[in-house]
Structure 1
Amino acid sequence: MKIKIETAGSRLDKALADLTSLSRSLANEQIKEGQVLVNGQVKKAKYKVQLGDVIRYQLPEPELVDYQPENLALDIIYQDEDVAVVNKPQGMVVHPSPGHNQGTLVNALLYHIKDLSSINGVLRPGIVHRIDKDTSGLLMIAKNDQAHLALAQELKDKKSLRKYWALVHGNLPNDLGVIEAPIGRSEKDRKKQAVTAKGKEALTRFKVLERFGDYSLLELQLETGRTHQIRVHLAYIGHPIAGDPVYGPKKTLKGQGQFLHAKTLGFTHPRTGQDLEFSVDLPPVFQETLEKLRKTRS
């Protein structure tokens, strides 16, 4: 594969990551191995690309992802012939990917539900939307393509109800608020998302449920569904989610990742037109942490 540089000044590894599907770390590896040529010559990662440079690189061989039904514990809140609603535990990846071929929600779905939509292919059957590995809570699952298309359109039209509870650092000045800031890939770290002018519109509403001095319990409602949206927005306003290893401080509450739970989910049934709404309790570690904070406050 080859690309032609139209904007000069970036390091070779950054330019390659920005202009291709390669991550910066993978771009670095290929540069070190001599698989990246600039105008036919091997250059170091720190080389500043010039206008008109022609860069040739190798696309890595795709890693085959094996997925099999697994008899994993799965909390199915609701199920009919078209849709299912599941309560994903914290620590479970939603779908298989390189490095996560087993133990995912999809592996569990293939065992417990069988009939799943094919819209997202064989690796994400039935998956209409996702939540992070260390976020717990509710997800809608499509059992056929017609249901999938209807549910996905409702999400796109911002008609679905998605409410989260989060335990965040600090004491917010207002009981109610709206965070409206575009989110895209971070220019400093391509593994992270960030508020950036080049990002896509993102809007999160919040309400303070409890205050604990150094921490606050929030209810958040998504109007859009950008990657890591709640985590990025809360960090952006200076109140990162407790336990968040990526967007939060190192000194934080001990748990099993970020204290973020998809508590309430509502949508229109794709066949009957009935409005459905579901809500689930916080996971034990979240509840126990809140109880400790309440005792400390009192």
Structure 2
Amino acid sequence: MNAQEIQARILYRDALMLVIDKPAGLPVHAGPGGGPNLERSFEHLRFGLPKPPALAHRLDRDTSGCLALGRQHKGLSKLGKLFQEGRIGKTYWAITSAAPPEASGTISAALKKLTTRAGGWRMIVVGDDEKDAQKAVTYYKVLGSGGGYWWLELNPKTGRTHQIRVHLAHLGCPILGEPQYLPEGSAKPTAKLHLHSRALVVPLYPKKDPIRVEAPPPAHMIRALQACGFVTG
């Protein structure tokens, strides 16, 4: 991304923090094989500071929406502590092609990273007492449905890798476009992953109201959202 493209994605900016609208399909940082990534563009977000901002958290390559960056050491340190303590509110939107069992509920299912024989990895649901199990809790509610789609709002209370994707698959309603966490024998999805980091609520300054930032849904999710009752504009 050039300077104009990445700067057009800024949703919020102050002395300590930037929030940008991450595009779907672009990893936030380089993997083992290198390749295009969002961090390459952070140089265009210095705005006079000696160093570019740095990631305060992560989003999956195929997830779009609110991504917080820390400006200078102080900003990154404060954000890191807030995320670690679970004090930052995170709201995601997802589209599924199957209904969850209830209109709202809590998914509490511990996760564990499993290395595959082929050298890859995936997250799996395990018992709470299993070795290396990580507690994972996600609240969800259905915001609308229609056309064979369900529009869910999700609030993860923990920040495990692939948490929402695994939890919804475990619930029996995998995300539309889910490429990895599907029942065995399922056809490869043709749609992009319909998972969006809709909002962050950040209590960055103790004597001020929390900062609330929202990201508009990406173009590839609009059709399904509208079928579920979402109104653009």
TM-score of the two chains, using structure 2 as the length reference: 0.83
* 1:292–1:178 distance in 2 versus 1, CA, 3 Å: closer
Other structure's SS at 1:192 match: strand
Counterparts of 1:107-118 in structure 2 under 5 Å? 107-113=40-46, 115=49
Ranges of 4+ aligned residues in structure 1 off by more than 6 Å: none
Q: 2:28 aligns with which of 94, 102, 108?
A: 94
Amino acid at match of 2:44: Y
Q: 2:54 aligns with which of 113, 126, 129?
A: 126
Give the match for residue 184 of structure 1.
Answer: 112
Distance 2:176 2:121 in 1: 20
Q: For structure 2, list consecutive stretches of 5 or more residues without a partner in the other structure.
A: none
Amino acid at match of 1:107: R
* 1:169–1:248 distance in 2 versus 1, CA, 3 Å: farther
Amino acid at match of 2:27: V
Structure whose alpha-carbon radius of gyration is higher: 1
Give the match for residue 73 of structure 1.
Answer: 5
Q: Deviations over 1:77-119 (max 9, x none)?
A: 11122110100011111012332343x211111223364879x
Q: Which has the higher contact order (CA 8 A, sep 6+)?
A: 2
- Cα deviation for residue 270 of structure 1 reads 4.7
Quick check: 1:167–1:215 contact (8 Å CA) kept in 2?
yes
Q: For structure 1, list consecutive stretches of 5 or more residues without a partner in the other structure.
A: 1-68, 119-124
Count of residue correspondences: 218
* 1:149–1:90 distance in 2 versus 1, CA, 3 Å: same
1:195 aligns with 2:125: yes
Identity of counterpart residues, as a percentage?
Answer: 30
Whichever structure has more strand as a proportion of its residues is 2
Counterparts of 1:1-298 in structure 2 under 5 Å? 70-71=2-3, 73-74=5-6, 75-102=9-36, 104-113=37-46, 115=49, 126-186=54-114, 190-197=120-127, 198=131, 199-212=133-146, 214-248=148-182, 250-251=186-187, 254-255=190-191, 257-270=192-205, 273-291=208-226
Quick check: 2:100–2:171 contact (8 Å CA) kept in 1?
no
Quick check: 2:25–2:62 contact (8 Å CA) kept in 1?
yes
